[in-house]
Every structure is written in structure tokens, then in C-alpha cells.
Amino acid sequence: MKIEIFDTTLRDGTQGEGVNLSIQDKLLITQKLDEFGVDIIEGGWPGSNPKDEEYFQRVKDLNLKNTKICAFGSTARFPDQIETDVNLNKLIQAGTPYVSIFGKTWRFHSEKSLGLTDDQNSELILKSVKYLKDNGVKVIFDAEHFFDGYKDDSQFAKRMLLAAEAGGADLITLCDTNGGSLPHEISEITSEVIKIIKLPIGIHAHNDGELGVANSLAAVEAGAVHVQGTINGLGERCGNANLCSVIPNLILKLKKETVSNINLKNLSSVSNFVYELMNLVPNSRAAFIGKSAFAHKGGIHVSSVLKDSRMYEHIEPKIVGNQQRVVVSDLAGQSNIRYKAKELGIELPDKTEFSKNFVKFLKELEYEGFQFDGAEASFELLLRKDLNEFKPYFDVNYAKVNVMFDESGNEYSEAVLKIEVDGKVEHTASDGHGPVNALDKAMRKALNAFYPELSKLHLIDYKVRVLGDNDGTSARVRVLVESSDGVTTWSTVGVSENIIKASLQALSDSYNYKLFKSVVKKETELADLLK
């Protein structure tokens, strides 16, 4: 059978620490997931807050092609007050084709949390599901804490599922709410449930044991046909099953078909889109979609990948919208350098002696603390300089930075520079918010007189890493600078015992890289005109 993909990023995902979405954000993600091919999107809990209620009204205006919207809530609070239960009526008022409600399937929760007997809890589930069905919605019953409940008292847990089935539920989802079950437990218990429940069975796994994806796949192999999860595995505590790993594993490894046609090539872009709207830093080491998922650093690996990427890659990166990368570092071999040069459009000499010497030079720099896998612009300048294709566009002849504090706690930073370009010296000064900002402003001020195109350059990230564990304040530091001209971004590096000098190195490389690329662009445009 085909597998139904149920996304709860907008509901369960937003319960993750540090995650917050506006209504507009939720609508944009809904559109993105619809284009991706998700079957059902759980948009929120209309009975819990006004934001979710407004979302369910505004989402009706979207022209969704693949996705059905689902509202989330719980069973009623009391078995004898079903029709007047505020939560159930809010779910109906949301006007969604699907509703998912959770009910207690662990006696521990039923007794301690709700104070219900077994009969009362069973009645509550049956009547809640039936009331929703009688009001024209499809009902997904989420069996909360099911696997813990089954291990505690399987008869109680199964009885609650049978109550949901008797109430008319369209699908029952088995929830590993605490995320502590193991794959073999998920598989065995799911298989047992399928023997007694005639409805389609789903899985909702959390990641507290780092097994959310594995548990979801185990349930599918046991017969589940509906998988719930979130983009990037976001969610409460350690998160939910990560759909960015579940989906490609289902399609590529288990050879399962999904109900809607998933556009797998958009997987990486969907992941990055959600990270961006949530203002979260992407996980570079995430399987399938991370920046490092198909990155190769060891020289022997790269040599093999160049011959046939299947030697060290389990799938082709482009299948999931990602790309192969070769990282240049102290583990690099000649293959890394040649791969990287080809990627940058640099033609290397055929003789291997050049590659050997450059690799040796590179490893010496990395031993000193330089890191080029995160500063590819500095690497490119280094390589082109060795090939006599680049020389710096300016020299810093003098640099002085002053930092002062007064009795009131006010801080003042000033940088003074002498920068030489083609024999002409520009002597300038600038203040700033801290010494590095002052240095950056002074350099920009001096260089703009010679290179106006630098006015578009701006620094977007600045990182400092202390390199010596035992050297205290005298330790070397590595400064990584990320810059942008509004079109492209690039990273550069500097290393020194002096944080200002390291910053000056990284900033100088950044400006030089921008100038080099500007010259190359002009030469290319001129060559095109002369053709």
C-alpha cells in the first residue's frame, strides 16, 4: 500500500524550544509543503490560541493542490459532556476536512491525569470520535503514549484503540509520545495491533532516544501506512521523527510509494526554507539535506569519489536537491586540490609536483591554525596566488587600533590605517562599535577611494575560535568572516595570537576576493562583447 505523509511542523514542530512562527510564516510553509507533495498538514490546535484559529480561516484562501489541512485537539474532558465540549466544537468550527484528536491509551495517564476509570476513558474516546464523525469530518485518532501504555498493560491499550474504531475513526496513529521505545518494540507492537484493528494504522514517533526515524521506518515495515513527523525533526524536547530523513528512506531505501507524488528534488530547499522562516541555523550534518551530507575531506575518499561517487556516497546528492562537496583541509590529498580547482574553474599544471607542493604548503598553514573548509574564498586566493593568477590589490602598511573606556562605562574604539594602492597611500581613521568594527570601517573608508565597488560589500558573520587550550589569553585565535555583496556570499580566514591582526587578515582576504571577482566579471563581459 502507498504511504500517507502527515506533516505536523506547524503544530508539534512549533512546540520545540526557540521555535516561533507568525500566521504568515505558517501559511508560507503550508504552500511549500503542498508543492512538495505532503498529503496532510496539521496546522495547529484551534482550541488553544487565537493565532491557530486565524490560521484555519486564512488557509482556506490558499489554492492547495496536494495537501489536506488537519486541525488538532483532544478528546472531550468528560464522557457526559461531549456535545458541549469547547475543544471538540472548536475543531468542528475550524472547517478542516481532517481532525486529529489524541486520547489516553496508557492507564497511568488515564487514572492520574484525568481521574477516569477504564470504562469512562473508553467511553470518552468512542463518543468524542463519533461526535466529530457525525459532524462530517474525517478523524485521525492519535493514541497518546500508546507504546508505553501497551508495555504497561496491553489489554487496556488495545481496548482504547477498539473504542476509537467503534466510534468511526478513519485512521489510528500509534504514538511513541515519550520517544523512548526501540525499533524492535515498535515493530512487534505495531504488528500485534494490525491483527486486531481493521483500520489503517499510522506512526507518530519522537526522537528522545535518537530513534524517531528508525522507529517510523520500523512501523512501516510492520504494516503502518501513515507516517507523522516534522521538517528537520523539530519538536518538543529532542524533536519529532524527521521527515527529511523519513521520506527519502521510504522512497529510496524501502521502495515505498507515497499517496501524493513527493517532489524529492525539492527536499533540501524545503528544509532550508523552514529553517530560514524559523530563524534557525541549519544542521550542516543532517542526513540527506545537510551541507556536509555529501562532503568529502579525506584524500583517499576524494580520490575514489572522483572515479565513482558510489564508493563513498549512498545516493546521488541531486536526487534530494543536494550537491557533492570536496573540503580542503589538513586531511586533503592531491585529489582534493584538483577537484576543488576544477570546481572553481582553475586549470592546474599537469605535473603532480605542483599538487604535492601545494598540499604540503596547505597542511603547514592548517597546522598553524588556518582552516579552509569553512573559508573557501581564502583558499581560492591562496591557490591563484601560487599560480601567479592573483596578487593583492592593496597593502596595509600601518594599522593601529585604540579602545578606551571612561568612568561612566562608555566605550570608544578607533582604528587608524595606512593603505597603499599602486604606490598611492591613503591615511584614514574611523571609530566603530568595538575594535573590529572600527577596523572594518577604516579599511572600507580607505579602499572606497580606489575601489568604489566595495561600497556594496558588507560583513554578515564574524566568528572567533581560540586554538590553544593551555595558552590562556596568549593563545592563537582563528577568525572566520562571512561577507556578501548582496548577490553572493563568501568566507575568509585569519590566524594570529592577536585577534585584531587575525581580523585584519580575514577582512583583507574578503576585500581582495570581491575585487578579484569584479575584475574577472568585467574581463568576461568584455570578452563576450568582442566575440
| Residue whose cell numbers read 585604540 | 402
Residues 230 and 340 in one domain: no
User: Sign of the C-alpha dihedral, residues 383, 384, 387, 393?
Assistant: negative
Q: Is 219 inside a domain boundary? A: yes
Determine the structural domain holding residue 136 and report its residue range: 4-277
Residues 247 and 304 in one domain: no
Residues 137 and 266 in one domain: yes
- Which of 246, 277, 308 is a domain's end point? 277
- From edge to edge, which strands make up the β-sheet containing 395-405? 395-405, 411-421, 424-432
Q: Is 310 inside a domain boundary? A: yes
Residues 310 and 272 in one domain: no
Residues 232 and 362 in one domain: no
Other beta carbons less than 10 A from residue 178's beta carbon: 14
Residues 53 and 141 in one domain: yes
Residues 262 and 129 in one domain: yes
Residues 138 and 29 in one domain: yes
- Which of 277, 303, 321 is a domain's end point? 277
Expressed in percent and rounded to 5, the helix, strand and coil fractions of the chain are 45, 20, 35
Distance in angstroms between the alpha carbons of the first and the last residue of the chain: 58
Q: Is 340 inside a domain boundary? A: yes
Phi, psi (5° rounding) for residue 394? -160, 160
Residues 50 and 177 in one domain: yes
If one counts the domains in the chain, the total is 2
Residues 211 and 307 in one domain: no
Q: Which alpha helices (DSSP H) does 297-333 contain, by range?
A: 299-307
Cα Rg for the chain, rounded, in angstroms? 29
Q: Is 176 inside a domain boundary? A: yes
| Residue whose cell numbers read 505495531 | 190
Partners of residue 204 on adjacent β-strands = 175, 228
State pLDDT tens for residues 385-425: 888 889 999 999 999 999 888 777 788 899 999 999 999 99
- Cβ–Cβ < 8 Å for 509, 480: no
Q: What is the pTM of this model?
A: 0.70
| Long-range contacts (CB closer than 8 Å, 24 or more residues apart) made by 364-367 | 366/329, 366/330, 367/330
Q: Is 327 inside a domain boundary? A: yes
CA distance 92 to 163: 21
CA distance 530 to 36: 44
Residues 135 and 227 in one domain: yes
- Which of 343, 368, 393 is a domain's end point? 368
Which residues are within 8 A (CB) of 119 and not within 5 positions of it... i.e. 6 or more apart? none
Tell me which residues of the chain have a pLDDT lower than 50: 329-332
Residues 252 and 211 in one domain: yes
Q: What is the pLDDT of residue 331?
A: 45
Q: What is the H or E stretch that residue 276 is in?
A: helix 267-277
CATH code of the domain containing 80: 3.20.20.70
Helix 299-307 crosses helix 334-343 at what angle (to 10 degrees)?
60
Q: What is the pLDDT of residue 28?
A: 93
Q: Is 282 inside a domain boundary? A: no
Q: Is 429 inside a domain boundary? A: no
CA distance 357 to 502: 25
Q: Is 416 inside a domain boundary? A: no
* Of 268, 180, 258, 163, residue with least CA distance to 220: 258
Question: If you ran DSSP here, which 8-state letter would residue 312 be given?
Answer: T
State pLDDT tens for residues 68-126: 999 999 999 888 899 999 999 999 999 999 999 999 999 998 888 788 899 999 999 99
